[in-house]
Amino acid sequence: QKEVEQNSGPLSVPEGAIASLNCTYSDRGSQSFFWYRQYSGKSPELIMSIYSNGDKEDGRFTAQLNKASQYVSLLIRDSQPSDSATYLCAVKIGDDKIIFGKGTRLHILP
Amino acid sequence: DGGITQSPKYLFRKEGQNVTLSCEQNLNHDAMYWYRQDPGQGLRLIYYSQIVNDFQKGDIAEGYSVSREKKESFPLTVTSAQKNPTAFYLCASSINRGGLAGNTIYFGEGSWLTVV
């Protein structure tokens, strides 16, 4: 059974600080990785995708991928109260399905 | 507007009833997915389809059925065999071609199903 693991949190971060979210996955052959943000009662929305080892930056968000360690992370700089949400890590398994972790709840403290 | 439309947004099911959730997309995406989310939990894959007239079971397919007769449509039926169907159901789609970027999935707004 292929798995995606995340710490459920809640992770509390002061406003303006960096929030760091982590995810590990079990399928060594995976090549596509995604971070989604989900507000309570809403559907997930894509924040970033990453396919190559290293960092990918988009505004205040940076995704980091380390395939050797089977680890992907999301950094949120200058955290804002509107960043308070659940963050879902997703991984494409082979050429087939996309599976999700259980998500990390993030609270930004004003 | 292009997007993924799920209906109904809220649905109540009586014990022993089958209900069907609709999912339509006009994005010309090849692949479509159904996920279930329970309160405070992550997304679990029910069924997925990469092409018309073909679909595969996900991790929790028991008590559910799907069809993919058209590229744009992927309805999910929650049968009476599903003993605990109360959940938030999410339909998603992806291009599924054109390289790794085609793997990105996008979601509809979801359907809330409650058993009464």
B82-114: burial string, b at 16+ Cβ within 10 Å, e else: beebebbbbbbbbbbeeeeeebbbbbbebbebe
Q: Hey, which residues does B107 pair with through a beta bridge?
A: B92
Q: Is A9 left (phi over 0), alpha (psi -120 to 50) or beta?
A: left
Question: Which tens digit of pLDDT belongs to each residue from A50-89?
Answer: 998 899 999 999 999 999 999 999 999 999 999 999 999 9
| Cβ atoms of A106 and A13 closer than 8 Å | yes
A100 in reach of chain B (CB within 8 A): yes
Contact A98 B100 (CB under 8 A): no
Contact A100 B43 (CB under 8 A): yes
Across chain B, mean pLDDT equals 93
How many other CB atoms are there within 10 angstroms of residue B75's CB atom? 16
Amino acid B76: pLDDT = 98
Q: Chain B interface, mutation test: which of A56, A98, A105, most B Cβ atoms within 10 Å?
A: A98
A43 contact residues in B (CB cutoff 8 A): 90, 107-110
A40 in reach of chain B (CB within 8 A): no
Question: Which tens digit of pLDDT belongs to each residue from B25-70?
Answer: 999 999 999 999 998 788 999 999 999 999 999 999 999 999 999 9
A46 in reach of chain B (CB within 8 A): yes
Question: Long-range contacts for B82-86 (Cβ within 8 Å, ≥24 apart)?
Answer: B84/B115, B85/B13, B85/B113, B85/B115, B86/B113, B86/B114, B86/B115
pLDDT of residue B1 exceeding 70: no
How many other CB atoms are there within 10 angstroms of residue B115's CB atom? 17
A39 in reach of chain B (CB within 8 A): no
Residue of B nearest to A31 (CA): B100
